[in-house]
A = this chain, B = another copy of it.
Amino acid sequence: MTRYFRPNVARMAGYVPGEQPRDGGFIKLNTNENPYPPSPRVKEAIVATLTDRLRLYPDPMSTAFRQAAAKLHGIEPEMILAGNGSDDVLTIVTRAFVGPGDPAAYATPSYLLYSTLIQLQDGRAVLLPYSSEWTLDLADLAVPGLKLVYIANPDSPSGTAMPRERIAEILRTADCPVLVDEAYGDFADSRYHCIPLLGDHPNLIVSRSFSKGYSLAGIRLGYLAASAEMVEHLVKVKDSYNCDLLSQAAGVAALEDQSYLAQTRSKVQATRARLGDALRSLGYNVPESQSNFVWATGGPAPSRETFQRLKERRILVRLMSYPGYPEGLRVSVGTDDEIDQFLEALRQVI
């Protein structure tokens, strides 16, 4: 059977997404979902769309959604491309630029999917190690024939972010498209947001997600912002009808309720600060997070054991191992009550 497959696919292990337990009863702090429900306007918008219109194909270009996203960011609709989750956006971008043998670089430690996407294209992964100050070395970008750079900003698992000025330096240095993955951007201070750089940097692509800030992981919606010319070519790579009718409507409703986003953001930011401080007081090393999770390494007990013991107590966090870093726990910011229960259980098991 494997002989039928492309060799790069046959030998791949495949990306393993975070555990999604199908029985309830877990405090789920492992996949960085938002602990608060989406804006009530989203549900209303979906219900309003549940007409016989379902029998027709959706707008292939998600026009109303593009307009809403462009308005929010103060750019043109032609600079927006919607995707079936920001993973779809990352797939489209990778397929557009990276062919067999082509070098593509990603910051590390970071989102493990970048490596999977490069393997699927039979490309060559180039690692850009973060410094101890959570920044990148511009010299590492001097890779002949480099086709694409991925930077999660804020990063996962560290939660840290590079300021916009540093990203601008990277954009000037790299002679290829740079994808700045702002899946967690809604939890970061605006000085980390890179869409304002688009005017000066034709090689910039910024991706955004509805799974985190907008509490809509269940509907699969993300988008990218780039120059109109860049978007025009990227459109060729996407599936014709990649975003369905309901998610397009949900996305517009979510974008138009910025005050709701601001509320949940504030709550998550406050709980994040408290969670980070508590973990530090227990002896963990926790970088300052701009995201909706914290990354705890070191600490008083081996992370693998702690992970298991928390799981036995029906608390799921994510155990993450990266070369050059001690095994650590990535803990999503839950509700205050969930985080209290997590901290209480943690104190018992370490």
Q: Which residues of A contact B (CB under 8 A)?
A: 1-2, 4-6, 8-10, 12-15, 17-18, 20, 22, 28, 31, 33-38, 42-43, 46-47, 50, 52-60, 63, 84-85, 87-88, 91, 95-100, 113, 120, 122, 147, 176-177, 202-203, 211, 215-220, 227, 229-230, 233, 235-237, 239-247
**B residues less than 8 Å from A43 (CB atoms):** 50, 54
Residues of B near A42 (CB, < 8 A) are 54
Instruction: Judge whether A34 and B55 touch: CB under 8 Å.
Output: yes
| B237 and A9 contacting across the interface, CB-CB below 8 Å | yes
Q: Can you identify 30 A-B contacts, CB atoms within 8 angstroms? A: A4-B147, A5-B233, A6-B96, A10-B233, A12-B236, A20-B60, A22-B59, A22-B63, A33-B55, A33-B56, A33-B57, A37-B54, A43-B54, A46-B46, A54-B217, A55-B218, A56-B218, A57-B217, A57-B218, A84-B88, A84-B244, A87-B239, A87-B241, A95-B120, A113-B240, A219-B245, A220-B241, A220-B243, A244-B244, A246-B246
Contacting residues, chain B, for A84 (C-beta < 8 A): 84, 88, 220, 239, 242, 244
Residue among A10, A36, A220, A245 having the largest count of chain B Cβ atoms under 10 Å:
A220
Neighbour of A218 across the interface among B236, B240, B246, CB < 8 A? B246
Question: Chain B residue with minimal CB distance to A9?
Answer: B96
Residues of B within 8 A of A88 (CB): 84, 239
Whether B236 and A9, one on each chain, are in contact in the complex, defined by CB atoms closer than 8 angstroms, is yes
A38's partner among B8, B34, B54, B237 (CB-CB below 8 A) is B54
CB proximity of A315 to chain B, nearest CB, Å: 16
**Are the C-beta atoms of A98 and B6 separated by less than 8 Å?**
yes
For A20, the chain B residues whose CB sits under 8 A away are 56-60
* Assembly CA distance A96 to B6 (angstroms): 6
* Beta-carbon contact of B97 and A122 below 8 Å: no
Cβ contacts under 8 Å, A34 to chain B = 55
Which residues of B sit under 8 angstroms from A176, Cβ to Cβ?
4
The 10 closest A-B pairs by CB, nearest first: A14-B236, A218-B245, A55-B215, A37-B52, A54-B218, A17-B240, A220-B244, A57-B217, A87-B239, A1-B229
Give complex CA distance A12, B235 in Å. Answer: 11
Chain B residues contacting A18 (CB-CB under 8 Å) are 57
Across-interface contacts of A35 in B (CB, < 8 A)? 55
B46 and A50: CB pair below 8 A? yes
Q: A17-B241, A84-B239, A237-B9 are in contact. Are A203 and B54 (CB under 8 A)?
A: no
